């Protein structure tokens, strides 16, 4: 069984613990597909006030996370297990996370995720301890805990066995460079809206083609940037062509 270990270095371990315990992530951690250990830099301070931050050199607003407690927490996490770890810092200045990155992380045995707070961390911590910097989007949050949870959730979905049905992950948006097709469940009628007849036809091949066409069409409409990068086969090109020709009538 594939198992991945996450160590999260955070001043707010409760945020991570409480959010990680539910749903798919909770099941992954509860059934041995993944393990999670939390490290609080405050436990690696030497002074009476357990100081983890200080004023920025050069002045300016806010506080900066100090190198020593963060560094000691990261190193303690690393020493806690012989499995080599890749250490990631979650930061709005990092590369934008995407599904390709998640697929790469899911193939690793161990990740240490470092969550910043305040104005961020002393730059030398990044120089000394961080392998890669990643962002969850072009906006600024108050801390790296939610980004760390986002990353763990997306990676865990890709570990074989974590989802009830392994096809669920394979069919998700972004797995094949395309968006997912639309989904429907009972009841058949919601007000004026009915489920597309083909989905009730029982004709598996026709359903597969309909879904693929919707997936291509949606990507064309909503994310042309993804479509431009996708390498479409002949069937996909033909279905997309049908979709674009029919689109104004839809």
Catalytic center residues: 92, 119, 157, 172
The residue from 117, 211, 213, 218 that contacts ligand SAM (CB under 6 A) is 117
Helix (H/G/I), strand (E/B), else coil: 210: helix
* CB of 37 vs ligand SAM, minimal distance in Å: 19
* CB of 177 vs ligand SAM, minimal distance in Å: 23
* CB of 138 vs ligand SAM, minimal distance in Å: 7
Round the CA-based radius of gyration of the chain to a whole number and report it.
23
| Residue with the CB atom nearest ligand SAM in the bound state | 116
Minimum CB distance to ligand SAM smaller for 93 or for 168: 93
Helices (H), 13-66: 13-20, 23-30
Are 219 and 179 contacting, i.e. CB atoms less than 8 angstroms apart?
yes
- Of the candidate spans 112-120, 189-197, 208-216, 241-249, the one that interacts with ligand SAM by CB under 6 A turns out to be 112-120
Helices (H), the chain: 13-20, 23-30, 67-79, 99-106, 123-129, 145-156, 166-171, 204-222, 224-229, 234-246
- Of the candidate spans 100-108, 111-119, 198-206, 218-226, the one that interacts with ligand SAM by CB under 6 A turns out to be 111-119
Residue 41 lies near ligand SAM (rule: CB under 6 A): no
Beta bridge partners of 115: 90
Residue 54, H or E segment? strand 53-54
Residue 57 lies near ligand SAM (rule: CB under 6 A): no
Q: Find how far residue 155's CA is from the centre of its chain.
A: 6
The residue from 41, 69, 92, 217 that contacts ligand SAM (CB under 6 A) is 92
Residue whose structure tokens are 């995720």? 113
Site string for ligand SAM, 125-154 (x = CB under 6 A): ----------xxx-xxxxxx--x-------
Helix (H/G/I), strand (E/B), else coil: 126: helix
Q: How many CB atoms lie within 10 A of CB 175?
A: 15
Q: How many CB atoms lie within 10 A of CB 39?
A: 23
Minimum CB distance to ligand SAM smaller for 61 or for 187: 61
Minimum CB distance to ligand SAM smaller for 69 or for 120: 120
Q: Residue 187: which residues within 8 A CB-CB, separation 6 or more?
A: none
The residues of the shown chain that bind ligand SAM, judged by CB under 6 A, are 90-93, 115-117, 119-120, 135-137, 139-144, 147
């Amino acid at each position: 069984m594939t198992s991945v270990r996450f160590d999260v270095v955070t001043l707010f371990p409760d945020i991570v613990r409480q959010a990680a315990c539910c749903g798919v992530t909770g099941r992954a951690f509860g059934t041995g597909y993944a393990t999670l250990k939390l490290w609080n830099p405050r436990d690696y301070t030497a002074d009476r006030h357990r100081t983890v931050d200080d004023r920025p050199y050069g002045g300016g607003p806010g506080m900066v996370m100090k190198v020593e407690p963060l560094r000691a927490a990261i190193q303690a996490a690393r020493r806690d297990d012989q499995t080599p770890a890749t250490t990631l810092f979650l930061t709005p200045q990092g590369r934008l996370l995407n599904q390709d990155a998640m697929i790469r992380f899911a193939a690793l045995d161990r990740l240490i995720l470092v969550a910043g707070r305040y104005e961020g961390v002393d730059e030398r911590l990044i120089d000394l301890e961080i392998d890669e910097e990643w962002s969850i989007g072009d906006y600024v949050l108050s801390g790296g805990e939610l980004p760390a949870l986002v990353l763990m959730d997306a990676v865990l979905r890709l570990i074989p066995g974590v989802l009830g049905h392994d096809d669920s992950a394979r069919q998700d948006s972004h797995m094949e460079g395309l968006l997912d097709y639309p989904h429907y469940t009972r009841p058949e009628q919601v007000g004026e809206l009915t489920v597309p007849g083909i989905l009730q036809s029982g004709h598996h091949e026709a359903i597969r083609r309909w879904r693929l066409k919707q997936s291509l069409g949606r990507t064309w409409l909503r994310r042309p940037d993804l479509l431009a990068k996708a390498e479409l086969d002949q069937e996909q090109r033909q279905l997309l062509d049908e979709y674009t020709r029919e689109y104004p009538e839809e």
